[in-house]
Amino acid sequence: MQISSILDKFPRVRLMASPTPIQRLERLEQALGDRRREVAIWVKRDDLMGLGGGGNKLRKLEFLLAQARSEGCDTVIAIGGVQSNFARLTAAACARSGLACELVLAQMVPRIDDLYHKNGNVLLDNLFGARLHVLSTGDDPKQFAESRADEIAASGGRAFIATLGGSTPVGCLGYVDCAFEIAAQSAEMDIAFDRIVIPNGSGGTHAGLAAGMIVTGSSASRVRAHSVVSSRESTMSATADKVNAVLELLSVEKRVEPDELNVSGGQLGDGYGIPTAAMVDAVRTVARSEGLLLDPVYSGKAFAGLLSDIEDGAIPPRSNVLFVMTGGTPALYAYADVFAH
């Protein structure tokens, strides 16, 4: 049995063309000079997906929308922050799939300005035809979503609630598949990636990749995650629970402890969605050396972590590092003031 066939029993709605390409950032390496320490930096372009502006959440939504359909749902209610990439891509995927979409957007970042609340992902949410519910500070988004689902049911419909980031065990299957994809590309390129670097927000991308690594016979610690939401300890604990839930879903007996995961909390700064100087520098460095865009909330902080890890030796010299570009670039427009100087 081929490893990838472990996912065949799960229903799936195809939303992206895969595999996404892997590219080396040679111009960036040159620009870093001595800072690079002979580390080869590669990127997996999960930002290059045609639907909805692309991004990692489409991998999750392939399984989540299939689950919604299998449960007879005609509406998807997605929960996220105001500038949620998951919300934006849920809206786009629902438009493609003929499902109604409602977005419950919580106040997760301390900003009240129009730039943040009307531009970026919010602009696209509206273009994709989603119905937006922007909550007030302190409102419970899960409770609101459940109440809306009850109202939809009372009207004769059926709603599927897609929780924060789509990081349920079913949603995480998208990045189990990505781990299989990376393994196949690594073999084809004859390059062993010593580290796979990602941001960790709701934990689903990390959990899926880590579970996929275990299934392929590799180590979960190969995935180096930089937390952008919670502390290192909280992120490790929550992500380990998700990894184990995914392994159970896949009928794999192996389980992980939190300290088996490779997580840094050093790039979180003052909290989720709050810019740091290191993030701004990473976004500008990659843009000016490679013409590629990192987002300010997830990949910008994670790439800053990658550069820091190279400089302090956490990533040893002569390593091959693969950074997963998770997309989210529409958020740059909501943070235009941060990059104005």
Cα dist from 192 to 6, 26, 40, 178, 295, whole Å: 23, 17, 11, 16, 27
d(CA 228, CA 67): 28
Catalytic pick from 84, 167, 186, 299?
Answer: 84
The residue among 1, 3, 326 whose CA lies nearest residue 184 is: 3
**What number of other Cβ atoms are within 10 A of residue 150's Cβ?**
11
Q: Give start and end residues of each alpha helix (H) in the chain.
A: 26-32, 57-70, 85-97, 114-118, 121-127, 141-154, 169-189, 204-215, 232-249, 277-290, 299-312, 331-334
Kindly provide the b/e burial profile for residues 310-336, where b requires at least 16 CB atoms within 10 angstroms of the residue's own CB: beeeebeeebbbbbbbbbbbbbbbbbe
**3-state SS assignment for residue 3:** helix
Residue 246 structure tokens: 């995914």
Query: What is the full DSSP assignment across 245-262?
Result: HHHHHTT------GGGSE
Angle (CA) 22 46 330, round 5°: 135
Q: Which of 203, 226, 206, 204 is nearest to 214 (CA)?
A: 206
| Pairing outcome for strands 100-106 and 131-134 | parallel
Question: CA–CA distance from 23 to each of 59, 186, 321, 323 (Å)?
Answer: 20, 12, 11, 10
What is the rounded CA–CA span in Å between residue 278 and residue 266? 11
Catalytic (active site) residue 218: no
Residue 317 tokens, joined: 């010299």
Catalytic amino acids? 84
